[in-house]
Structure 1
Amino acid sequence: MFTHAKKCSLAVLAALACGPALAEEFTLTSTDIAPGEFMASAQEFEGFGCAGGNLSPQLSWSGTPQGTRAFAILAYDPDAPTGSGWWHWQLVNIPVDVRSLPAGAGDPGKQLAPAGSLQIANDYGSPGFGGACPPQGHGTHRYQFTLHALSQTLDLPDNPSGALVGYMVKAHSLGSSTIEALYRRD
């Protein structure tokens, strides 16, 4: 036997289930990287003992949260032996009408990033994408490529730290989607 509160709860659940369809899920995809899969040497850094292509992966997204005014891509290695991880890429203030980035958009010299976006200095010390380069023999590292839908474009100081950018992105994030790819140097 149901109490009145349980009957009302069931009625609310039924109305939600039968009501308008929910918005499309906010999803990040790539033709170059995949969740739980090892990245190609194209995404390996060139320098610091690494000899990869230093090519940022192609990325696409769909299901933009309501109220989105801009996007940000953050690429981070939480397994770097630094005590604070490693920022590989922070591209912010991507215009709201953009839904994909071509491979190589993380290279400021190629001018493939959308107009109005801002490439922040990575932990290698240069703006744009800095590929995977875990210490040799350190095991498998995770590389989290996270797209954030932002409630506003970010007003940042000149040469902001990766930590400040990460804080500002998360403070204004309406939603996020992550591809966690892997890389190892034996």
Structure 2
Amino acid sequence: MSASADRDPMKLTSTAFEKNADIPVAHSADGDGSLPPLAINDIPTETVTLALTCFDPDVPRDRRADGNFDHWVVWNLAPTDANIPTEHHHSGVVGLNTFKEPGWVPCAPPVGDGPHRYYFTVYALDTTLDLPVNTTRAQLEQAIEGHVIEEAQLMGTFTRQRPCPSGSS
């Protein structure tokens, strides 16, 4: 799952925020709630499809026993989909977020809960996945075992400044 010696490792970046930096309010439930634009660079040439996930591991245990909130699950992205400007501009299949709905859920941690971390992970896969549309992040991660050529991660943080009715994290 690492880059070969003759090429750079795969990278996942965003024009909205730097690695380990704050995600802008615009991409939260307090803004327009849009997915931060993502770019995948140095995709291995042998990649058949890509998968992308985003989750927050900092949910208060009284809200979710496992402490995780799945914001986005996508698979079977074409390797040519290296730029994903919005949640709707890609070739992939969208799975279920924690609300058991397809699509992106914007950042919305509880007010005063401190910064939450949002891990965006891209997986370069050696196969096309045959999964139902109601697939969750846990099911996707199980399905890709043994098929990951390489992965890259981008983590951003978000701290809630004001309440919103969405209930997401």
Q: Displacement, 1:185?
A: 1.2
Report the equivalent of 2:50: 71
Greater CA deviation, 159-168 or 129-138?
Answer: 159-168
State, as a whole percentage, how many aligned pairs show the same letter: 28
Aligned CA-pair RMSD: 1.9
Q: TM-score, normalised by structure 1?
A: 0.75
- Tell me the secondary structure at the aligned position of residue 72 of structure 2: strand
What is the distance in 1 between the residues matched to 2:101 and 2:43? 30
Quote the offset at 1:79 in angstroms.
0.9
2:14 to 10, 30, 36: 30
Give the length in aligned residue pairs.
154
Which has the higher Rg, Structure 1 or Structure 2? 1
Q: Distance in 2 between matches of 1:25 and 1:113?
A: 22
Distance 1:113 1:171 in 2: 24
TM-score normalised over the length of structure 2: 0.82
Q: Which whole-Å CA distance do the structure 1 matches of 2:146 and 2:70 have between them?
A: 18
Cross-structure match for 1:86: 69
Q: How much has 1:138 moved relative to structure 2? A: 1.1
- AA in 1 matched with 2:6: L
Does 1:112 find its partner at 2:89? yes
Distance 1:37 1:158 in 2: 32
- Alignment partner for residue 159 of structure 1, among 114, 126, 134? 134
Higher helix share: 1
